[in-house]
Amino acid sequence: MRVLLIVNSFASSVTARNTVLVHRALGAAGRHDVEVVETNRRGHATRFAADAARRGVDVVAAFGGDGTLNEAATGLAGSDTALAVLPGGSTNVFARTIGLPNDPLAAAALMADALDEPSPRVGLGRVNGRYFCFHTGVGLDAAVVAAVERRAALKRWFGHPLFVWAALTTWARGYDRTHPHFSVTTEQGMVCEGAYFTVVLNTSPYTYLGNRPLDLVPGTSLDGGLTMISLSSLSMPTMLHAVRRVFSGSAPTGIDGVQVFTDANQVVLSRLDGTGDDAMPYQVDGDHLGAADRLEFEHVPDALRLVLPRATADRG
């Protein structure tokens, strides 16, 4: 089997040593022919993956953070080349979501065994033509990611505490909480006329805090449509009520200022008149992509062949 291993050597958990060991593990004692390439700029993994699909490579293995994974998935969507996920970032949301350990060497051993198994097709989300594996965040969520990216050198060392600090400081003084930023519409009509913060989920959890999964809407999975949670208030009572509900393991439904919509095929977010050009920042699978006036989401069934560890494949 031909495998292309795409490595982001700048990712938090990637080292020269574990890259060699991951390469060796995927080779599985000569059973697989593994070629290694390294990314050196944003978008590089997409180009590597798309080229591999054109050449008929069987599997692309993405070793890096969730951003590297997203780029590889974007390059492979719609092709017959499968994606294998290897955790190399600080959080590794999607790798852990599909049942992989957070240790890259342990994950590589599981992936090597799974390469010979059939790879099911799974659905992806897509926003303005860009695919996403687990979620897209708009508004406050994206502003937090932007704050973390401005301190990228600290991310390798401080990880989750840096995200918590960025979330608190952005909410307190780094994001306009006085005027709604955008409207949210699904295929069934208006959901939120004035929103500050929306997350569109393709699967769950939204992220991990240490070893704890943070499920915004439990039950969201790769097998269904998109789930959307939107906040029309960022007041302290609303935020605390929603956070308590999420940490208790249930969706924040029935809370004033919070709306949840499940199994959506299309969602449109539009910047409200009178707001600034940067009023609708967005991030895709943890990568900040700037701001937009309009974001069009859709669920794309069977978009990607995905290598799953055997335990997860057996459950599915």
For residue range 151-175, list pLDDT tens digits in order: 666 565 566 677 777 777 887 788 8
Q: Residue 221 phi/psi, 5° resolution?
A: -145, 170
- State whether residue 214 is helix, strand or coil: strand
How many independent structural domains does the chain possess? 2
> Sorting pLDDT into bands at 50, 70 and 90, what band is 179?
confident
List strand residue ranges (DSSP E) for the chain, in order.
2-7, 33-38, 59-64, 82-87, 121-127, 130-132, 135-139, 182-186, 189-195, 197-201, 207-209, 212-214, 226-231, 258-264, 266-271, 281-284, 287-291, 294-305
Residue 18 belongs to some domain of the structure = yes
- Same domain (yes/no): 102, 152: no
- Same domain (yes/no): 87, 201: no
- Same domain (yes/no): 277, 145: yes
Cβ atoms of 256 and 280 closer than 8 Å: no
Q: Residue 29 has what pLDDT?
A: 61
- State whether residue 91 is helix, strand or coil: coil
237-249 pLDDT tens trace? 998 899 899 888 8
Residue 60 belongs to some domain of the structure = yes
Edge-first strand listing for the sheet containing 281-284:
258-264, 226-231, 197-201, 135-139, 281-284, 287-291
Residue 100 belongs to some domain of the structure = yes
Q: Is residue 208's pLDDT more than 80?
A: yes
What's 203's domain CATH number?
A: 2.60.200.40
pLDDT-wise least confident of 2-6, 55-59, 93-97, 183-187: 183-187
- Same domain (yes/no): 266, 185: yes
Q: Residue 156 has what pLDDT?
A: 59
What's 34's domain CATH number?
A: 3.40.50.10330
CA distance 58 to 3: 6
Residue 306 belongs to some domain of the structure = no
> With pLDDT > 70 as the criterion, what percentage of the chain qualifies?
94
- Same domain (yes/no): 85, 144: no
- Same domain (yes/no): 162, 237: yes
263-297 pLDDT tens trace? 999 999 999 987 776 779 999 998 999 999 999 99
Residue 40 belongs to some domain of the structure = yes
Higher-confidence position of 150 and 261: 261
Residue 128 belongs to some domain of the structure = no
- The residues that bridge with 229 in the sheet, in sequence order, are 199, 260
Residue 9 belongs to some domain of the structure = yes
- Same domain (yes/no): 78, 6: yes
Q: Residue 153 has what pLDDT?
A: 60
- Same domain (yes/no): 183, 287: yes
- State whether residue 183 is helix, strand or coil: strand
- Same domain (yes/no): 265, 293: yes
Among the candidates 116, 151, 185, a domain finishes at 116
Residue 122 belongs to some domain of the structure = no
Q: Is residue 120's pLDDT more than 70?
A: yes
Q: Structural domain of residue 297, as residue ranges?
A: 135-301
78-107 pLDDT tens trace? 999 999 999 999 889 999 999 999 999 999
Q: Residue type for 104, please?
A: P
> With pLDDT > 90 as the criterion, what percentage of the chain qualifies?
63
Q: Residue 73 has what pLDDT?
A: 97
- Same domain (yes/no): 110, 225: no
Rg of the chain taking only CA atoms, in angstroms? 19
- Same domain (yes/no): 159, 56: no
Q: Residue type for 260, please?
A: V
Peptide bond into 252 cis (omega under 30): no
Average pLDDT estimate for 25-51: 92
- Same domain (yes/no): 199, 274: yes
